[in-house]
Amino acid sequence: MKIDERHLIQLAAVVKTGGVTEGAALLGLAQPAVSRTLSMLEKRVGEPLFIKGRRPLRPTPLGLSLAEHGLVMLAASRKASDLVESFRIGKSGVVRIGGTPFFMDALIARLCAEFQTSHPDVRIDQSYGYFSDLRAALRADQIDLAICPIDILDEGSGLEFQQILPGRNVVACRVTHPLLLKRRPQPSHLLDYPWIAPPPGSPLLADLRALLLSFGATEIKIRYTGGSLMSVINYLKSADALTVMPHSVVFAQRKEKTITALPITIPHPERALAILKRIDAPRAPAVDQFAEFVRAGFQDLRHLIKRHEESVIWGL
Amino acid sequence: MKIDERHLIQLAAVVKTGGVTEGAALLGLAQPAVSRTLSMLEKRVGEPLFIKGRRPLRPTPLGLSLAEHGLVMLAASRKASDLVESFRIGKSGVVRIGGTPFFMDALIARLCAEFQTSHPDVRIDQSYGYFSDLRAALRADQIDLAICPIDILDEGSGLEFQQILPGRNVVACRVTHPLLLKRRPQPSHLLDYPWIAPPPGSPLLADLRALLLSFGATEIKIRYTGGSLMSVINYLKSADALTVMPHSVVFAQRKEKTITALPITIPHPERALAILKRIDAPRAPAVDQFAEFVRAGFQDLRHLIKRHEESVIWGL
DNA sequence: TATCTTCATAACAATCCGTTATATTGTTTT
DNA sequence: AAAACAATATAACGGATTGTTATGAAGATA
């Protein structure tokens, strides 16, 4: 005996409200529709669902039991409708983001938390990678957004990218570093201290190499490599080591007062932090909202970072 | 955004089984029906529910969430179908029985328990009353069955009654009662002992009066009245009192070896224990099954009781 | 008894459903 | 890389069901 689910829901509405008219109103239907449904149900079930000739309407035990199941369905239906609604306005769903480790750790994680104060039902799945990995992950639909530095020249190929921060690197060290005592540290001084190399494969590593070349240096003391941002910072805290970092990452740590940037200008990489999306794929609304949130967040940061850069590096 | 419940269920079936074809099979539908449902759902929801161009079919997060709600509905629907099925074969539902206290306590309660070994999901609601109450309760649809002694002459009036045991009364006493030592106790001896009167309003009370009249007795010592069967038995256990009881009730207590019947024949009431139903009303299948169970149970008891009567009362 | 509310029925239009037949697409095999 | 295979999407159609409004019947209430 297969029972039409809609019928059960209508039965539940009638039992719940105590009348055909009210039940129909609850479902936004006309009374005769529900009335007919009930007679059809009774005919199919072959047993009375309501006690006849009594008003207010009273269900039989069977009718009551069936109505309970209908109520379950009604609730599930409501929840499903709400889910769709909240998904469409970007208030629920999953956002899968990938990015370069330092940016994610230093800047994005905090933004995720902030985003969820207004979008508590959105889940964020984060993963790490560099440009080529992220591009592949985007194309394979393993992530929805990538946040990473890309060469300004890189273009198209099905990906849309939105620049959110110009690429500026600095030499980072702990706040007690001896080089900070000099008014104008010279690049040659940099070679006197141990260095932390950025993770293999990272753009920063390439930046470090370019930096050395610009000094004409052939060798520096690499003493530590491979650590995540937290490892690097903790290492820096404990030694007079140096490393190359995006300025924004150092900026994000300014409140901790543990690391800072040396007042030395080094070449800008031809790169910018950007948000990458697939241009063709349909994205969940929550993804677009998150991307916009990140973009707006960086927009706010931009001049703060600029001013910080001028004061720290140029000493203005 | 209202969503058709049937659509959600089909979605759930597809997600659960991992394919349109299998999902359709699970629901007993053809594949194109389900396929079309999915496209309609996607169009209405406005968001993709499955990742396009990938097989085996993989749902999007939204599709997965919606499918979970659908699964709830599917389960509820299955349960409802099972419920109807078991109700129709009398394996679930409610049976509301009413009856005279002594019979219910001595005989019917045990039958209820036995009935439920084969019908564990049937609930039995028991209540007490005498004929006129029970008849009213039946007519008001407060009970489904009444089990009580009725005059053979009583007839019709919308009620069907089925005789299950002839009315035989005995004089009951404890097994150590002194009258049991006499080979042939005479009616006059009965007046020497204290009596328990059956509850006011009960047919037994009328029987007691008739009994007295037949002895020409004008007065007996009523020492106790108003108790339920258990009270009466416990009273009898502790005193050499006498009372009138249906023989079947005494019979039901034979295993306890605490009360028995005096070997004295007293007039049969023109009554029989019967099952009463409304003749017009639709009854739940479980009710009919229970009535039949009770009838069959008494049928089995009948000759046992007869033999017991002969051996106890006639000393055969 | 009269009135009022609520439920049941009738009639009709529109939608939706489920079917079979067929095309398309993604995957696997050679 | 082409071909074979399997699964899904589309098309077309008959029929069932759903929704509506208008109206009649039956309890409840005064």
Question: Best interface-test mutation with A: which of B41, B47, B288 has the largest number of A CBs within 10 A?
Answer: B47
pLDDT confidence of residue B128:
94
The DSSP code sequence of B34-47 is HHHHHHHHHHHH-S
**Residue B227 and residue A82: Cα distance in Å, rounded?**
60
Q: What is the 3-state secondary structure (H, E, C) of A75-108?
A: HHHHHHHHHHHHHHCCCEEEEEEEECHHHHHHHH
Q: Tokens at residue A76, please?
A: 């599930």
pLDDT greater than 90 at residue B139: no
pLDDT confidence of residue A10:
85
Superfamily in which the B169-261 domain is placed by CATH: Periplasmic binding protein-like II (3.40.190.10)
Strands A169-174, A242-246: pairing kind: antiparallel
Cα torsion A14, A15, A18, A22 to 10°: value is -20
Q: Work out the minimum CA distance from B9 to partner chain A, whole angstroms.
A: 9
Closest protein CA to C1' of nucleotide C16, residue: B37
Nearest partner of A34 among A61, A73, A42, judged by Cα: A42
**Which residues of chain B form CATH 3.40.190.10?**
92-167+271-313, 169-261
CB A177 within 8 A of CB A236: no
List A residues 236-255 in contact with B (Cβ-Cβ < 8 A).
none
pLDDT confidence of residue B56:
74
Query: How confident is residue B293, by pLDDT bands cut at 50, 70 and 90?
Result: very high
**Residue A248 and residue A303: Cα distance in Å, rounded?**
11
Distance, CA of A33 to C1' of C14, in Å = 15
Dihedrals phi, psi of A212, to nearest 5 degrees: -60, -40
| Chain B hits for A10, Cβ within 8 Å | none
Closest protein CA to C1' of nucleotide D26, residue: A53
pLDDT confidence of residue B125:
94
Nucleic acid strand C within 7 Å of A55 CB? yes
Q: Which region, left, alpha or beta, applies to residue A187 given φ > 0 means left and ψ of -120 to 50 means alpha?
A: alpha
Tell me the pLDDT tens digit for each residue of B21-41. 888 888 888 888 888 888 888
Q: Classify domain B5-88 by CATH number.
A: 1.10.10.10
| Chain B hits for A124, Cβ within 8 Å | none
Of A51, A85, A282, the CB nearest to B141: A51
Distance, CA of B121 to C1' of D15, in Å = 39
**Residue A145 and residue A314: Cα distance in Å, rounded?**
35
User: If you average pLDDT over residues B264-287, what whole number do you get?
Assistant: 86
Q: Classify domain A92-167+271-313 by CATH number.
A: 3.40.190.10
**Which residues of chain B form CATH 1.10.10.10?**
5-88
Cα-based distances in Å from A316 to A103, A172, A253, A307, B170: 26, 18, 20, 9, 118
Nearest partner of B262 among B275, B244, B238, judged by Cα: B244
pLDDT confidence of residue A233:
94
pLDDT confidence of residue A15:
85
Q: What is the mean pLDDT for each group of 10 consecutive residues in chain A (316 residues)?
A: 84 84 82 84 82 75 87 89 90 93 93 95 94 86 90 71 89 94 85 91 88 79 90 94 93 92 86 88 88 94 83 64
Strand C close residues, chain B 43-62, CB < 7 angstroms: 52-55
pLDDT confidence of residue B106:
92
**Residue B312 and residue B261: Cα distance in Å, rounded?**
7
